[in-house]
Amino acid sequence: MTCIVGVEQNGRVVIGGDSAGIEGWSLTVRADTKVFRNGSYVMGFTGSFRMGQLLRYSLVPPVPHTWDLDRFMATDFVAAVRDCLRDGGYARNDSGNESGGCFLVGIQGRLYRIDSDFQIGRSVDDYFAVGAGEDFAHGSLHGSADLPPDERVRKALEAAVHHSTDVRGPFHLVWDPEEPPNPS
C-alpha cells in the first residue's frame, strides 16, 4: 500500500510518494523510491515494487512524436508499458484481458493516471492521487490550490500518513521538467 500524489500546475508536474512497503501486517520503510525519472518522464507507482522496478529499469519509453499527447499516451506509451510488464513477467492475462498496475506519469507538463487495465486518465482537477492514502490526499489537494505544487504534494502525503496505517515517510518528489536549482 502507498500514496502517490501528482500535481500539474503552470506547465510543470510534480509527483511525490511515500516509502512504505506493506506485506500483510508487516511494514518496511523502503530505501528504493516509488517515484523516479525515466528519460523525459516522471513516474510514481503503487502496488508491487516489481512493477515499479520494471517501469524504472526496463521500460524504454517512447519519445512523444505528435502534437496530440493524449493519443500518444493511450497508444504508443501504453504499448511500450504493456510490452515491458509482459516481458518482465508482471502483466497478467485472464481470458484475454491483460492487466498491469496503477501509476502516475508526468510528461511535457501533463499528469496522467495509468490504471491496471492500461487506460490513461487526465483529470479536470490539476491533481491525482493513487494508493491506500489517495482519498486523504485528494481531500488535502482539493483544499490547497493556493499553495505551490511541491507544498501541495507534501501536505497531501502528510494527510495520508496521518489517516492511513499504510503510508509512511520519508517522502520523495520528482519534477517534470527537472526541479530547478535552489536559488540560495
Domain residue ranges of the chain, discontinuous segments joined by +: 4-176
| Interacting residues of 71 by C-beta distance below 8 A, sequence separation 6+ | none
User: Where does the pLDDT of residue 16 fall: very low under 50, low under 70, confident under 90, or very high at 90 and above?
Assistant: very high
Phi/psi at 24 (5° precision): 65, -120
Mean predicted lDDT score pLDDT of the chain: 93
- How far apart, in whole angstroms, are the C-alpha atoms of residue 2 and residue 46? 6
Residues 50/84, Cβ–Cβ less than 8 Å? no
- How far apart, in whole angstroms, are the C-alpha atoms of residue 12 and residue 176? 6
The fourth-level CATH superfamily of domain 4-176 is: Aminohydrolase, N-terminal nucleophile (Ntn) domain (3.60.20.10)
Q: What's the one-letter identity of residue 173? A: L
- How far apart, in whole angstroms, are the C-alpha atoms of residue 32 and residue 139? 27
State pLDDT tens for residues 127-162: 999 999 999 999 999 999 999 999 999 999 999 999
